[in-house]
Amino acid sequence: MSQESLPSGTGPEPADALPEYAERVLDVADLIPPGRVMTYGDVAEWLGEGGPRQVGRVMALYGGAVPWWRVVRADGVLLPGHELRALGHYREEGTPLKEAGRAAEDHLPRLDMRRARWDGGGRAEGHT
């Protein structure tokens, strides 16, 4: 413990350690209660850093470690490639969904962001 003149070790950083920002994002995602969702933009704003795209990237890379289906797009569209998987979770948690219109192509419902959106517990959530 005397020679800390490491060639490249500016600090303890195991290869399995996630980027700090990513770790924060995952932490927030894990805070979202069942039956509610948070948008990428909201997570970013809640963190006070990064943007919706950064949150999305983190979820794409490490989302498997958290309830990824609770982090959604602002428009309420189900995650492409995982629609049915996410839909199963929403129905299981009772997340407010909005039935699709007459468009036969999109028979899949979308999230009712008006009711499903969670503010992160920072303030009183929208009552009735």
Q: Is the dihedral of CA 98, 101, 103, 104 positive or negative?
A: positive
Report in angstroms the alpha-carbon separations of 41 from 27, 50, 75, 88.
Answer: 15, 9, 11, 24
* Least distance (Å) between residue 93 CB and DNA: 15
Type of residue at 44: A
64 binds DNA (CB under 7 A): yes
Tell which one of 31, 57, 108, 115 touches DNA (CB under 7 A): 57
Checking DSSP bridges between strand 71-72 and strand 97-98, what pairing results, if any? unpaired
- CA–CA dist 84, 86 (Å, integer): 5
Establish if 50 lies at the interface with DNA (CB under 7 A): yes
Member of 26, 36, 73, 90 binding DNA (CB under 7 A)? 73
Give the residue, chosen from 79, 89, 108, 109, that forms a contact with DNA under the rule CB under 7 A: 79
Enumerate binding residues for DNA (CB under 7 A): 19-22, 39-41, 49-57, 59-61, 63-64, 68-69, 71, 73-75, 79, 82, 101, 103, 106
